[in-house]
Amino acid sequence: MIATRSTSDKWFDAVNYTLLSLLVVAVLYPLYFVVIASFSNPDLVNAGRIWLLPRETTLEGYRRIFADETIWLGYRNTLLYTGLGTFLNVALTLTAGYALSRADMPGRNGFMLAIVFTMFFSGGIIPTYILVKQLGMVNTMWAMIVPNAVSAYNLIITRTFFQNSIPHELLEAAVMDGCSNTRYFFRIVLPLSMPIVAVMVLFSAVGHWNSYFQALIYLKDSELYPLQIVLRNILIANEASGGMVDDLINVSEQQRIAELMKYGVVLVASLPVLALYPFVQRYFVKGVMIGSVKG
């Protein structure tokens, strides 16, 4: 028997789909506009004549972007920070999360209380800067990696996953077979925990790729700047009028090309994450569901 739907249900669905469609357009159109603006005549973009399709297509902006060494240096630094930072984040988060999930760990509730406390209270920017400076990490790549080596939120998610997904009977059976804790973790727990491993890799990699505030505070040498700082300098400080367009004599032409390059740099900096996300979006949902099942 097929249940009939009431008129109110149909109206609800219609309103719901309409609002969701408007939300999707509001989210996707700015990104689409950046794409078409990066290929269009900047004079038409500034005049507000670019809406749906690019006009007077040009690749001049991308040619100058990829010819600039600053962009490639920023890419190299960001890849380095993302790779090392993600490895350190995942290694520490998984090991600490597993240890805190063990019921036989002495004082684990006290450790969790201290970890949760850091989510609500911190020393502040100035004490953190002093600490990083005393550790000798200012103006080094380690300032981009070490201070955020462990996220309390990610640690709680990982601990919850281990508690809910890894049966304690596996540990008992492994101990009876003479398996050590280290071997049990690497040979049994990790192979069964690929979903949480993927979630932590994804969260950490995206966080490091988009990080720029730490670079503003700790880095002084431009050769250490990540890609996001290079992007910020072009968008906010308007430094595209420097080496990227210094071969142009006309000032108005420099400004015109600089405007074109701003859209291109935004797309170049965002493309790796945008290309990766469709393949791993289900892990984002998995990560949210893991932390929402049980605290």
pLDDT per residue of the chain (295 residues) written in tens, 0 to 9: 455 677 888 888 889 999 999 999 898 888 888 888 888 887 787 777 888 888 888 887 788 888 878 888 888 999 999 999 999 999 999 999 999 988 888 888 899 899 888 888 887 888 889 999 999 999 999 999 998 889 888 899 899 888 888 888 888 888 888 888 888 888 888 888 888 888 888 888 888 988 888 898 999 888 899 988 888 877 665 554 445 555 555 666 667 777 777 888 888 888 877 777 777 677 666 655 665 554 4
pLDDT of residue 105: 87
| Cβ pair 225, 219 in contact under 8 A | yes
Query: CA torsion 132→135→141→147, rounded to 10°?
Result: -50
pLDDT of residue 295: 45
Burial tier of 38 (Cβ tally within 10 Å: 0-12, 13-18, 19+): buried
- How far apart are the C-alpha atoms of 143 and 215, rounded to whole Å? 8
Q: Quote the DSSP letter at residue 189.
A: I
pLDDT of residue 42: 79
pLDDT of residue 44: 81
Cα distances (angstroms) measured from residue 283 to each of 21, 34, 165, 200, 202: 24, 27, 16, 9, 8
| Cβ pair 240, 90 in contact under 8 A | no
Domain ranges of the chain: 1-58, 62-295
Q: What's the CATH class of domain 62-295? A: mainly alpha
Pick from 150, 144, 155: which is nearest to 88 by CA? 150
